[in-house]
Structure 1
Amino acid sequence: MAYLSGFGNEHQTEAVPGAVPSQQNSPQHVPLGLYAEQHSGTAFTEPRANNRRSWVYRIRPSAAHPAFQRIDDGLLRSAPLLDGVADPNRLRWDPLPRPARPVDFVDGLYTLGANGSTLDRTGIAIHLYWATAPMHDRYFSDSDGELLLVPQTGMLGLRTEFGLLAVEPGEMALIGRGVRFAVDVLDGAARGYICENYGRPFALPELGPIGANGLAHARHFRYPVAAYEDIERRVQVVQKFGGHLWAADYDHSPLDVVGWYGNHGVCKYDLRLLNVMGTVAYDHPDPSICTVLTSRSATPGQANVDFVAFPPRWVVAEHTFRPPHFHRNTMTEFMGLVTGVHDSKAEGFVPGGASLHNMWAAHGPDEATYTSATTAELDAQFLAGSLPFMFETRLPLTVTDFAHTAEHRQPDYDSSWSGLRRHFPRP
């Protein structure tokens, strides 16, 4: 499969030569009898550096469809959550159990928590997914936010308006707001995490004093080449809008884009390519130094949400407590684990699991990790075979009632710190 690369840049690709006009955006007669259509991921007048839009050239215009009707939301929820609680306690979950019956990607969505408001276009939702069946003659789009997918097990095949992407554990995929797509399960079953971003689109963070190199390189983001479906039969298109699911029956596939150019669409990134920054002297660096993508807010430096990843890396700092230190933050931290272990937890946090530390919740290493870290020889160490990640957001997350009371939630998470004893001498 061939890709075009370069995050946020203009791209052009066509499945049939000549599908994309060579001179004009929307000429009087589009080549090959196609329809020209613009997808605007940002307001028309946003600054050029922020503007997201793509021109697509398709067999039928998107306007050719019947009315959408409400359908069951299943276990999918949106902000503001009416059935949930903003809990100051530290929360942790085992992996989401596999569904008892076959489910596709849409039916397998499970909301853990959310903040902000879909209608006000602020905040995020965090979902888990199971997919044990392909989306056959069924398609999905999210008008409320863009979707950042982090597969934990099983490869996903994304069929989108902009082409095809295969996304495996260790990679992430970003699906722009309003983009229609279907998910195939290439390994028979797939499980993972989703950040639904209601706010400003994800972008690469500024590098500041880091300089020109480091973190995620724009050239490593992969965009698909154009590929279209010319299907004329009854299919279902599901749309998330205003926090609920709506559906309409089309008489054709909505993935009929023959060519496109622009910078609003879908892409993927291999998290193992992240050029991790760290200290070579002393002190454990803040997790912000591992930011892959950021959704900015109106407050400079305070993100609507940051996506932070911790791939295999060297740890070399001297005279330093190397695991994440004990801390309380104004930001809210959701942690997931694709593979391996987290360097601040000895046990209990397993691949496919999750933890949530809402704003100002005190957390840090458990007793076993603390003891090991304070007695270990500080030789250079390579943290291999591990891929934790974090969605860090400026607002507290409200947890859905069904996630709060779920059997796979660990009721004794607080006991992780119960063994931390006093060392300061008594008078």
Structure 2
Amino acid sequence: MSEYKYLSGFGSHFSSEDERYPNSLPVGQNSPQVCPYKLYAEQLSGSAFTAPRTENVRTWLYRKLPSAVHLPFQPFKGAEYFRQNWDEQPPNPNQLRWKPFDLPPKDGKRVNFVEGLHTVCGAGDPRSRHGLAIHIYSCNSSMDNSAFYNSDGDFLIVPQQGVLDITTEFGRMSVAPNEICVIPQGIRFAVNVDSPSRGYILEVYDGHFVLPDLGPIGANGLANPRDFETPVAWFDDRDVKDFQVISKFQGRLFVAKQNHSVFDVVAWHGNYVPFKYDLSKFMVINSVSFDHCDPSIFTVLTCPSLRAGTAIADFVIFPPRWSVQEHTFRPPYYHRNCMSEFMGLILGKYEAKEDGFAAGGATLHSMMTPHGPDVKCFEGASNAKLVPERVAEGTQAFMFESSLSLAVTKWGEETCQKLDAAYYECWQALKNNFQITKN
């Protein structure tokens, strides 16, 4: 699973074939009258056929059987709290913080990745292809003889505890905490785990995740395209009775049975692929003079909206870095934002709130809801000697930021029983320090 092909740039073209079957990629055309090894040619499109060349994504798959060979879909009865009903709870503009979400008990019920999906918040409608949803997963069992795909949008998966061994139609990849992966719309995958595992998922309906423009930063900085990796082709050669294909369609789950694995792709080529990224490779850009830069300098991936410079969702990280600003309050400033900010913590302690915000938990600061450093952070930073300082060592916090106003599900606000009712107290001891001085 350690072997990958570099993703040298979004929009680039890639190809891979299982080394057991050399020359399985057709030469000169995508769908010859008879494919090598008598495979079936199948195109997976991630954009409209007529999308501009810079946005046009599709991949040709050469497989033992086409995806259409399955029995009719029926409603899937697992994943009770994986839903996109944004009207089940009244709006809540308060600052929200969740304690670490539960892991399945080690000796209890077996829960796989799909069964362990829980929706926390979101906005929009997958039927109109506009919006997003934020989920957590909590599982202790592998997806045996089953696969999942999302008809509604892309999944950006952020492991917090436990390694995910992910099998896709394109091959396999292992994704550990402090790494992420993206499974684009429609691509089928299965998740295997060897211990209780937990993490976060950002789902977008509008388009696909891309690298942000760098503007004045120039050619280098932030996430380097060469550090993104895609799987090398591998396929499952077993005959599998009652293999389950689980589909997310218009916000609900369905399941169909078939007598073969979906992971039967011997070769592929195209530019629509799953990929992973190691967050430790992010090149941090920061201030070396004064003031605290906006968090947009920490953007790894973005899903743009139709408004220039405004995202349906950004994936932002706050990695270890040096802080050297002069005459400056260095932690994040107090602010109210026209964006919604959902934060999670992969490991360590977040520098602006070292108490109460724990790994495996989350916060949501909704549109125009005020937030910022707690009392301890404010007082410490206001009196600190401003020398070069290493910030967030051993820590990785992240943010899902959106221009949409997010609604919290009943599971997120009530059923999970992880909402911290005392969160607001972290600001209550801030003092009025206003002083009038005479010249």
- TM-score band, normalised by shorter chain: over 0.9
Confirm or deny: 8 A CA contact 2:103 2:197 kept in the other structure. no
Deviation by residue 1:6-39 (Cα, 9 ceiling, x = unmatched): 2422111000211111211111111111000100
Picking from 207, 211, 225, the partner of 1:200 is: 207
The two structures have a TM-score, normalised by structure 1, of 0.98
Structure 1 residue 239, shift from structure 2 partner: 0.4
For residues 258-277 of structure 1, the aligned pairs below 5 Å read 258-277=266-285
Determine whether 1:407 maps to 2:413: no
Unpaired segments of 5 or more residues in structure 1? none
CA distance in structure 2 between the partners assigned to 1:426 and 1:123 by the alignment: 48
For residues 19-418 of structure 1, the aligned pairs below 5 Å read 19-72=24-77, 73-78=79-84, 80-100=85-105, 101-186=109-194, 188-232=195-239, 233-383=241-391, 384-405=393-414, 406-418=416-428
Confirm or deny: 8 A CA contact 1:235 1:253 kept in the other structure. yes
CA distance in structure 1 between the partners assigned to 2:319 and 2:150 by the alignment: 29
Structure 1 residue 324, shift from structure 2 partner: 0.4
Confirm or deny: 8 A CA contact 1:230 1:252 kept in the other structure. no
Confirm or deny: 8 A CA contact 1:18 1:32 kept in the other structure. no
Q: Which moved more, 1:195-204 or 1:65-74?
A: 65-74
What percentage of residue pairs aligned between the two structures are identical?
45
Deviation by residue 1:71-98 (Cα, 9 ceiling, x = unmatched): 22411012x5232343211100011112
CA distance in structure 2 between the partners assigned to 1:114 and 1:408 by the alignment: 18
- Match of 1:370, SS state, is helix
Unpaired segments of 5 or more residues in structure 2? none
- Match of 1:373, SS state, is helix
- Which amino acid is the alignment partner of residue 399 of structure 1? V
Confirm or deny: 8 A CA contact 2:118 2:411 kept in the other structure. no
- Which amino acid is the alignment partner of residue 412 of structure 2? A
Confirm or deny: 8 A CA contact 1:169 1:338 kept in the other structure. yes
Confirm or deny: 8 A CA contact 1:36 1:55 kept in the other structure. yes
- Match of 1:77, SS state, is coil
CA distance in structure 2 between the partners assigned to 1:113 and 1:239 by the alignment: 20
Structure 1 residue 69, shift from structure 2 partner: 0.7
Tell me which residue corresponds to 1:10: 13
CA distance in structure 2 between the partners assigned to 1:332 and 1:203 by the alignment: 20
CA distance in structure 1 between the partners assigned to 2:37 and 2:9 by the alignment: 29
- Which amino acid is the alignment partner of residue 11 of structure 1? F
- Which amino acid is the alignment partner of residue 397 of structure 2? P
- Match of 1:269, SS state, is strand
Moved over 3 A (4+): none
- Match of 1:307, SS state, is strand
Confirm or deny: 8 A CA contact 1:339 1:387 kept in the other structure. yes
CA distance in structure 2 between the partners assigned to 1:244 and 1:289 by the alignment: 36
CA distance in structure 2 between the partners assigned to 1:51 and 1:142 by the alignment: 19
- Match of 1:123, SS state, is strand
CA distance in structure 2 between the partners assigned to 1:129 and 1:136 by the alignment: 17
- Which amino acid is the alignment partner of residue 138 of structure 1? S
Deviation by residue 1:176-209 (Cα, 9 ceiling, x = unmatched): 10111100004x1211000011111000000000
- Match of 2:426, SS state, is helix
Determine whether 1:422 maps to 2:432: yes
Confirm or deny: 8 A CA contact 2:101 2:361 kept in the other structure. yes
Structure 1 residue 426, shift from structure 2 partner: 7.8
- Which amino acid is the alignment partner of residue 221 of structure 1? F
CA distance in structure 1 between the partners assigned to 2:48 and 2:201 by the alignment: 25
| Structure 1 vs Structure 2 CA RMSD | 1.2
CA distance in structure 1 between the partners assigned to 2:197 and 2:126 by the alignment: 27
Confirm or deny: 8 A CA contact 2:86 2:409 kept in the other structure. yes
- Which amino acid is the alignment partner of residue 40 of structure 2? Y
